[in-house]
Structure 1
């Protein structure tokens, strides 16, 4: 790794004339790093954390949180997940290599040629499957318990701690389960097993085997070893998706059959919301069946042009969805019509529509909670087929209690409770602001990316953990509601908090915290004694000054800007300033300022390097409002600059503006309307929003980004064309007054690189000063620690030095002049 990086630096120094060698932040790259907690023992006595260095992340540190005298254990060369074996040992993993490390002694056991590894927590066991297909099970002391040969594959169900193996013995395929310290056979066949999966909500195994050139599906009941065979087989080139019905009563089968005849043309239909349907229907047709275990028969389900049919948590019903082709407003998430299919009567019952495809089901399937197109929260009772309106327009994120008789909803000022028996809404807790419920179990029920259908249930009805965030002050706190009483766990702090881990009774809390001047540290808080221990801390060896300013948006919303001062700031000098824009940035201002990020920054931007080189760096909030995204950005940036104009050490003639993606669009637009900047850098931004509006991206019409997404334009294009024209950068390329550096990846599927190319050509046609950097094969960003990202990093520093500091020794820029 070291030699590879040295070669990397040599090639860069040859390409850019030794500028890399002079970057002093590289020497600090091995000093400062982020921290990620990767594992903890059951009672949080032992923690495993990973220092994330700028150029590698293969180090793991083990810490005993109960002992201040016991030294930490440090291991290098393990990039994959690791896990504890009770409080006795830890398994360290890296590709084909696993190391067992006793936590109290020097005992180490190395395992090589490893295919799979895992642990069974409650039993204090771990298992290793090697390349020779031998599965070995060990106890917590690394003593071998049993060995099983001929193991083709294994499945481990973590929730129920069940280990299943597929073993081949002399052509006989067997499925077995670990029981105690031995494997018990569940199923045996001489046929080839080509696939198998575990259905956790049915406690059954689905086994697919080849039988006379057909695929056959066997459902294996784990607790009594009985099995059933699907009444029909299907071709080896056909796919079958299976999902369990509620109460383990059967399966919903989705059979996908390839069409024998292929049309040459792709047929696109304007009346379809999901434009990917042309591709799927072009290649295959879909059939649905219900397989009831009790009768072992198949019942076809009519599709009726529904795009998705899936089980509900009610055993009597399936639920079916179809996107609504609504031209009033386009969202990233589809609006959907939904119906219930009565399994007994084979009838569909149209229920309602969903706004932005969001629905939460109770685990017993009795209640469906959703927003309709009027943005009302509704509760549908599948037992009585009645609907109740929840009078909580601004509420979000409903979560059911364990008994499914009430649910909670989050709002900006309180947590609300809706009683599903009395149909009554009340305030559950009024002492929380912008609170999110942390200890919930949320499970998506579909893999369709534009559908938000899920279960959401409290882990505990009597102990509910809240995270509160004050976006105005950027403070974070945690509190615990227990048996009607709300008590603070972590008081409001300006620190950024991540990896928040707690024990079963919330007696000990572990978190990673950081701030712009505080490098990440690991905090262990004892709730009873209110004592905080710092498990790990790497104090910063430098200090950064910053200043927060306030200003208004065009619609008079309060905004903030964060101004960072150059390192070694001298109030008798004047400094250039770089302004970075992208939506609201204040809430991210409690992230530690790392030196050396230019080594891996996928966008080339390095705050520390700019401060070290003697620039002010300004992060103003920018929001799109009534006058359009571009004009709003111009207004916000002008007000932000006015808010810092009294700082006389800022050289107002030497200010640069930079942004990427949506920020790149904002830079393009501001460059065509402002004379306050001496230079610009724009990365991968839309230069022609009308072209982008009528484009195809994310498997759908890209207009959603403008009507309901990041651009937040108040009207569709056909309703107010002048609004889009006024906010379209490329139409005003002739008005640019300062040089622009453009860059884009030529494989960018998010913002096609042609937008940067078109803006470049428009600037070129109007004799403007511009250079474009196009990176073949690269996407919306340039990747971490790539040659391309490093080149962009160097060229960005060159660009600012040339135009903001008058350092005219940059030959590649001189060619533009």
Structure 2
């Protein structure tokens, strides 16, 4: 009895201890999240006095905290409970947030809020600090905002309103009453005038270029043009058929209109329900949905407002038109005529079309891009002359003469040309020199030189560019800010008073969230940005004028990352091309010990560069690859540049990578040359598999989502992502064969990982996502089968509902964590001789067999 009791007590103690350990593990995992919070510069207020800073724990793609930081005092206020305020960040510390049918007006300067409930819709005039909102009782109100909320004033309230429309310049407000009256509110004096009454629903209201007139399209395809200067109403009678698609309506600068649409006739094409036919001369290869289709007729018109004349344009032979806003002219083009699928976008001839003469009068450019920039005075058109943007020219609408400004050849464009606001100049950079082209005398002035940028990098303009009618304009009388990321250092420059100077220099990476929000304040002449590197978490700074001030640091304990060490070195291939390697050291590095090394390959540039600060959280991995986690696990991590030579991607990758490893072994003697691994994803996945067809220096390899079958799954494959044949991606782009298969089949064979898989001796882990249409997952299946046929050591992972990449996104996080651990397992098994990893041991042991239950 005592023995049983003692046994029971021992078991109870063990269970409690295990439970305590599990709880401790859970607590550690929870706390681990809070260890790795990093900050991101999100937005700067128009007056530059407050900045929005996001904080993420790096376990998901979303921010876990949001702060407003005073750029002068550094006072920090948390508003993580609110959302949808990025578009409504105003002067004087005011912002407006949406929250479940409510709008919240908050003043940061006075820490006060105003809540307005039962809101149906709202908009904000940033220029006038006006809040316009429509409640559920169909009352529209205009409130003048003040940083002291008790001074907010309702300027106007109008009842019985079903919808409203604010012009982009915030000068006009259009109201539609429930009894279908259209009212105009002049926001300069808040006067109201009835324009007209309608007997239909408004399907679309579209403002003109000057924002002083608008077009109404009804649900019955009726069109009315309203001029707010004269209150003249023009009814445009367009012969709209019963069924249409692809309706496009745009204004010219004189309020003329361009209208185009496809007329869907009643004439069916029965065979579209059961057959899809591709032909030798097909210029448009889109897989059929096998739904019944009807003959479609393309139609295009120009409506001349002053004369009330509608002119139909010729759309035969697939002629399309592009409205650039200049009265009397269009650009005409045929999108199919020169399509040969040799580029990602079709090569197109763009002609200047004279509307009065109804004919083309000049060929402007042959290019794959639709980049046409009109000067603010409508007198000149700026456009690239070639598809590579190496040559640019200007067309004068007064003389119809063309003037080249960038002639290509020895000029490399670093900054795309942009118009000045006064239409007198064009600013651009080529060969890392800032230049200004004068429209009147046709002369180019060199303003100053930027630091030489990396290959593939550009000079970036920070300023918020004014946009009108698809063109961008810069005020050259105000300061302009630029930044350049180079291999050695990164700089911010200022252009002011016809002079270019660099005002900030760092060896850290400079980040500006220009793609998402505005990091620049015109009023305050300020720039919000962050800096970081492999052992410096993101730190947010603000540049005001020429002064830099630190705002906020990422709240990470330095003990977690201060041990990190990285060494940069150069090496060369057999063609004497200089390349760069970055070597990250293992944690607790001891120069007297030996450590395995993992080599990461891609191309000349890396999206997951070791120069950035990364966290060791598995969910924060870049498609399973986490250099920080690997270094914490005791690995050297080498990121080695490769490129594509004339011999091909495989041949050059082998040469570059072997030379990189040899140089790394000279730089650091603690690297164990007997335990080397290689890893890559996408183009890096291709190269990782390709490299081990030509060398046995690696004991383990991992290749993710690679294009191994460059003939069957790439060169002679159809891309369901790009909706076109994929051969341009082998002949150009990354693989860059510069030849068709028929012109050099031997080159294709030598550079195909699939056709050379039989040469591989290195154990390789393959992985892909089953929803990958960028590099179809069949590539991985074929590579696996080629290796299995030769009984080579290989395991393939096929992730369900995963596309080309894995990240912290909710639908990808689980797979990303799983892959991260499997990558560590794979290298531990082969490079650290940890043979207790059963999924690998059972999968590679030819003395056993396995069955797939998937």
Gaps of 5+ in 1: 1-16, 446-453
CA shift at 1:311, angstroms?
Answer: 1.3
- Give the secondary-structure state (helix, strand or coil) at the position aligned to 1:86: coil
1:544-559 to 2 correspondences below 5 Å: 544-559=564-579
1:159-308 to 2 correspondences below 5 Å: 160-162=169-171, 164=173, 167-169=176-178, 171-172=179-180, 174=182, 176-177=184-185, 179=187, 180=189, 184-201=193-210, 203-210=212-219, 214-232=220-238, 234-235=240-241, 237-239=243-245, 241-260=247-266, 261-262=268-269, 263-264=271-272, 265-276=275-286, 284-306=296-318, 308=320
- Give the secondary-structure state (helix, strand or coil) at the position aligned to 2:741: coil
> Which one is further off, 429-438 or 605-614?
429-438
Alignment pair present for 1:465 and 2:473: no
Aligned residue in 2 for 1:120:
125
> Which one is further off, 506-515 or 331-340?
506-515
- Is the CA contact 2:40–2:538 (under 8 Å) kept in the aligned structure 1? no
Alignment pair present for 1:411 and 2:411: no
CA shift at 1:107, angstroms?
Answer: 2.4
Shift in CA distance, 499/720, structure 1 to aligned 2, threshold 3 Å: same
376, 382, 401: which one aligns with 1:386? 401
Aligned residue in 2 for 1:719:
743
- Is the CA contact 2:452–2:486 (under 8 Å) kept in the aligned structure 1? no
Alignment pair present for 1:57 and 2:63: yes
CA shift at 1:47, angstroms?
Answer: 1.6
Distance 2:543 2:689 in 1: 48
- Is the CA contact 1:496–1:590 (under 8 Å) kept in the aligned structure 2? no
- Is the CA contact 1:339–1:348 (under 8 Å) kept in the aligned structure 2? yes
Deviations 1:628-685 (A, max 9, x none): 1121111111111111112222122222211111111111211322211111211111
Aligned residue in 2 for 1:349:
361
Distance 1:20 1:254 in 2: 66
Distance 2:596 2:29 in 1: 20
- Is the CA contact 1:552–1:636 (under 8 Å) kept in the aligned structure 2? yes
448, 466, 471: which one aligns with 1:455? 471
Alignment pair present for 1:593 and 2:613: yes
Aligned residue in 2 for 1:793:
820
CA shift at 1:86, angstroms?
Answer: 2.4
328, 334, 339: which one aligns with 1:322? 334
Distance 1:584 1:30 in 2: 35
- Give the secondary-structure state (helix, strand or coil) at the position aligned to 1:788: helix
CA shift at 1:479, angstroms?
Answer: 1.9
May I ask how many residue pairs the two structures share in their alignment?
783
Deviations 1:425-464 (A, max 9, x none): 443434664444444738697xxxxxxxx6343x112345
Q: Rg bigger for which structure?
A: 2
Distance 1:465 1:64 in 2: 23
Shift in CA distance, 105/580, structure 1 to aligned 2, threshold 3 Å: same
Distance 1:795 1:303 in 2: 58
CA RMSD of aligned residues (A): 3.3
CA shift at 1:598, angstroms?
Answer: 2.0
- Give the secondary-structure state (helix, strand or coil) at the position aligned to 1:631: helix
Q: Normalized against structure 1, the TM-score is what?
A: 0.87
Aligned residue in 2 for 1:7:
none
CA shift at 1:478, angstroms?
Answer: 1.9
Shift in CA distance, 598/362, structure 1 to aligned 2, threshold 3 Å: same
CA shift at 1:166, angstroms?
Answer: 5.0
Q: Normalized against structure 2, the TM-score is what?
A: 0.84
Shift in CA distance, 493/563, structure 1 to aligned 2, threshold 3 Å: closer
637, 653, 671: which one aligns with 1:650? 671
- Give the secondary-structure state (helix, strand or coil) at the position aligned to 1:643: helix
Gaps of 5+ in 2: 1-20, 454-458, 846-854
715, 739, 750: which one aligns with 1:693? 715
Distance 1:744 1:480 in 2: 45
Aligned residue in 1 for 2:549:
532
Aligned residue in 2 for 1:13:
none
Aligned residue in 2 for 1:14:
none
Shift in CA distance, 157/62, structure 1 to aligned 2, threshold 3 Å: same
1:356-395 to 2 correspondences below 5 Å: 356-357=368-369, 359-363=371-375, 364-372=378-386, 376-390=391-405, 391-393=407-409, 394-395=411-412
- Is the CA contact 2:432–2:451 (under 8 Å) kept in the aligned structure 1? yes
Aligned residue in 1 for 2:494:
480
Distance 1:573 1:167 in 2: 78
- Give the secondary-structure state (helix, strand or coil) at the position aligned to 2:780: helix
Shift in CA distance, 587/59, structure 1 to aligned 2, threshold 3 Å: closer
CA shift at 1:569, angstroms?
Answer: 1.3
Distance 2:212 2:288 in 1: 37
Aligned residue in 2 for 1:46:
50
Aligned residue in 2 for 1:755:
779
Alignment pair present for 1:101 and 2:125: no
- Is the CA contact 1:62–1:74 (under 8 Å) kept in the aligned structure 2? yes
Distance 1:52 1:612 in 2: 22
